[in-house]
């Protein structure tokens, strides 16, 4: 049984860095671009700004820049994660996310 935090949501891609506020720092994040069918997954054993990427054709690769990072938050934005400028984050495309965190 999972004990901890869980959040889902959607956001519109911008092509620029996006901070997603959850109220916790996740240990696992999955993003799916509904428009282009690109997926990106990150967990806390991976480096910041990285991710396992799967494109619409099914090809997978590890990216090491412009991916997903934990975000500690600021006085204006709560803790969560950052979506980098990888092609999963394309301007005006719909992104779905799932984020899991430990207690």
pLDDT tens column, 10-24: 999 999 999 999 999
pLDDT of residue 1: 46
Residue 40 scores a pLDDT above 60: yes
> Which range of residues forms the domain containing residue 10?
4-102
Query: What span, in angstroms and rounded, lies between the C-alpha atoms of 26 and 56?
Result: 25
pLDDT tens column, 50-97: 999 999 999 999 999 999 999 998 878 889 999 999 999 999 999 999
pLDDT of residue 77: 81
40 is written with which tokens? 């990106």
Rounded to 10 degrees, the C-alpha dihedral 78/72/19/65 comes to: -170
pLDDT of residue 3: 67
Q: Tell me, what DSSP letter sits at residue 16? A: S
What's the total number of domains in the chain?
1
Alpha-carbon Rg for the chain, nearest whole angstrom, is 13
């Amino acid at each position: 049984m999972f004990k901890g935090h869980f959040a889902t949501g959607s956001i519109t891609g911008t092509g620029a860095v996006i901070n997603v506020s959850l109220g916790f720092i996740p240990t696992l994040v999955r993003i799916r671009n509904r428009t282009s069918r690109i997926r990106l997954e990150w967990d806390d054993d991976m480096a910041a700004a990285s991710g396992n990427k799967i494109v619409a054709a099914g090809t997978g690769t590890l990216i090491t820049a412009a991916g997903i990072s934990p975000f500690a938050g600021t006085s204006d934005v709560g803790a969560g994660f950052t979506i980098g400028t990888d092609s999963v984050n394309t301007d005006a495309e719909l992104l779905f996310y799932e984020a899991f965190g430990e207690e």
